[in-house]
């Protein structure tokens, strides 16, 4: 039984059960996809890192070395790719041309800079040692310099945002930074009531992951001179894709291996975090609830929790919930005029469910 899909993330109410039948995406469906979403923005994405690094201080100093560290061309670039595809889709919807405007490309870069800043700060908070298969920034340069480097990246993104000269877009993307901070604070706590706990988790997921995608999609739509309805559609697509993306990330923490993920698995349990697979498992195994409240800090809690999740259908239910959000993203994007970019965004909402890392 899954939580209701349509959730007001500002005024969350107790969860009810969804009566919809999840759409299953199998290998035959994936094989039938005709458009590779990555290829449509390959040119823009291939130059993204170099363009971003040009925004950093020109002097060859330690701060620039740290800022450059994760912009090595080895990231997923999922967020800028979604923003660029959305730019093409809304531009075609509005003008019948799917070119990307320079201001919209700037949003894609700003989104990746903000995301990278959040990774640096998260690794300091979590005490992580690896990221993307290599030592974290704080492991190499220390916590103090890592925090300052993350702050520097946020300042670079703020300057780039201000230079766009669009007050509405500034407001939209500034919300992302507030959401990231509030989401991190939410991650430090939990809720005693089970329904409150799942709502807390979903709201935190929106703020920490989906807000950046949602507001980036909205920003490129605004810059494409879209109507308010189209900009809201873009926001909803990004929100649902972002939540689905994080749900898959959370289940991979239980099903993948460290060599594939590029970071330690079961990391969430080790950090004391109860993600969707654990929260679903707790419905069948209530003994997980006290472990959740004490953040798995007693000896044997982590291994016991892993075994209970494995015995339950928590991972399956998490995937089903991700599929519901994927379907909602597809429903939203189909409002746009049919185009290759629009179809690519639809297919992207399916493909993200097949992630292995």
Q: Under a CB-based contact definition with an 8 Å cutoff, are residues 350 and 241 in contact?
A: no
Q: Quick one: which of 221, 91, 239 has its CA closest to 179?
A: 239
> Which residue's entry shows tokens 């220390």?
142
* Least confident residue range of 18-32, 136-150, 177-191, 285-299: 18-32
- In this predicted structure, what is the pLDDT of residue 265? 59
> pLDDT: is 265 or 321 the higher one?
321
Residue 34's pLDDT band, with cuts at 50, 70 and 90, is low
Q: What pLDDT digit, counting tens, does each position of 251-260 carry?
A: 999 987 544 4
The residues that bridge with 17 in the sheet, in sequence order, are: 3
> What number of other Cβ atoms are within 10 A of residue 353's Cβ?
20
Count of CB atoms situated within 10 Å of the CB of 174: 14
Angle (nearest 5°) at CA 127 between 123 and 129: 75
Say whether pLDDT at 137 is over 60: yes
Nearest Cα to 161, choosing from 150, 152, 151, 172?
172
CA distances from 163 to 69, 166, 216, 233, 259 (A): 25, 8, 16, 26, 41
Residue 262: what pLDDT? 45
Q: Using the predicted structure, report yes or no on whether residue 284 has a pLDDT greater than 50.
A: yes
The pTM score is: 0.87
Mean pLDDT across 128-146: 92
Cβ neighbors of 13 (< 8 A, separation 6 or more) are 199
Q: Where are the domains of the chain?
A: 37-354
Q: Show the tokens assigned to 5.
A: 């899909």
Per-residue pLDDT, averaged over 310-323, amounts to 96
pLDDT score for 296:
94
Beta bridge partners of 3: 17
Tell me the percentage of the chain whose pLDDT exceeds 90.
75
Instruction: Name which of 91-95, 218-222, 236-240, 352-356 the model is least confident about.
Output: 352-356
Q: What is the pLDDT of residue 259?
A: 45
Instruction: Please tell me which residue, 27 or 270, carries the higher pLDDT value.
Output: 270
For 193-207, what is each residue's pLDDT tens digit?
777 899 999 999 999
How many other CB atoms are found less than 10 A from the CB of residue 170? 15
CA separation for the pair 108, 101 (Å, rounded): 11
CATH of domain 37-354: 1.10.600.10
**Long-range pairs of 333-336 with CB within 8 A, sequence gap ≥ 24:** 333/89, 333/233, 333/237, 335/230, 335/233, 336/89, 336/90, 336/92, 336/93, 336/230, 336/233
Reply yes or no on whether the pLDDT at 169 is more than 70: yes
Query: Could you read off the pLDDT of 3-12 as tens digits, one per residue?
Result: 433 333 333 2
Q: Report how far residue 208's alpha carbon sits from residue 180's, in angstroms, rounded to the nearest whole number.
A: 5
User: Among 127-141, 249-263, 274-288, which stretch is predicted with the lowest mean pLDDT?
Assistant: 249-263
Rounded-to-integer distance, Cα 327 and Cα 237, Å? 10
User: Where do the H-state alpha helices sit in the chain?
Assistant: 27-31, 37-40, 42-46, 48-53, 62-68, 78-95, 102-126, 137-141, 143-163, 167-187, 194-205, 211-223, 228-255, 258-261, 267-270, 276-284, 288-293, 301-311, 314-333, 340-351
Q: Average pLDDT, whole number, for the chain? A: 86
Query: What is residue 257's predicted lDDT score, i.e. its pLDDT?
Result: 56
Task: Quickly state the pLDDT bin for 26 (edges 50, 70, 90).
Answer: very low
Q: For the residues 102-108, what does the mean pLDDT come to?
A: 97
Give the contacts of 42 (CB within 8 A, at least 6 positions apart).
none
Averaged pLDDT, 301-324: 96
pLDDT at 1 over 70: no
Dihedral of CA atoms 337, 340, 343, 347 in degrees, nearest 10, equals: -160
């Amino acid at each position: 039984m899954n939580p209701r899909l349509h959730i007001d993330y500002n005024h969350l109410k107790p969860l009810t059960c969804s009566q919809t039948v999840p759409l299953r995406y199998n290998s035959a469906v994936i094989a039938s996809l005709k458009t590779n979403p990555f290829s449509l923005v390959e040119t823009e994405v291939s130059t993204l890192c170099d363009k971003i690094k040009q925004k950093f201080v020109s002097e060859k100093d330690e701060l620039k070395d740290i800022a450059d560290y994760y912009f090595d061309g080895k990231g997923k670039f999922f967020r800028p790719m979604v923003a660029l595809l959305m730019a093409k889709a809304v531009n075609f919807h509005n003008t019948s041309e799917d070119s990307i405007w320079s201001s919209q490309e700037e949003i894609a870069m700003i989104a990746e800079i903000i995301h990278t800043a959040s990774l640096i700060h998260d690794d300091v908070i979590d005490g992580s040692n690896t990221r993307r298969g290599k030592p974290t920034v704080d492991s190499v340069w220390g916590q103090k310099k890592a925090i300052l480097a993350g702050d520097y990246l946020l300042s670079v993104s703020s300057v780039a945002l201000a230079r766009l000269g669009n007050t509405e877009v500034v407001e939209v993307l500034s919300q992302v930074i507030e959401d990231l901070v509030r989401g991190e604070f939410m991650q430090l706590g939990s809720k005693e009531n089970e329904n409150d706990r799942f709502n807390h988790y979903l709201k935190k997921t929106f703020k920490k992951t989906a807000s950046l995608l949602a507001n980036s999609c909205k920003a490129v739509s605004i810059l494409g001179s879209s109507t308010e309805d189209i900009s809201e559609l873009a926001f909803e697509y990004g929100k649902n894709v972002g939540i689905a993306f994080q749900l898959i990330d959370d289940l991979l923490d239980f099903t993948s291996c460290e060599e594939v993920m590029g970071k330690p698995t079961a990391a969430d349990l080790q950090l004391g975090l109860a993600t969707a697979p654990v929260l679903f498992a707790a419905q069948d195994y209530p003994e997980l609830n006290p472990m959740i409240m004490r953040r798995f800090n007693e000896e044997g809690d982590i291994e016991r929790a892993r075994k209970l999740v494995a015995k339950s259908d928590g991972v399956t239910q998490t995937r089903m919930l991700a599929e519901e959000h994927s379907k909602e993203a597809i429903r939203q994007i189909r409002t746009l005029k049919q185009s290759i970019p629009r179809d690519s965004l639809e297919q992207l909402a399916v493909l993200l469910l097949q992630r292995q890392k």
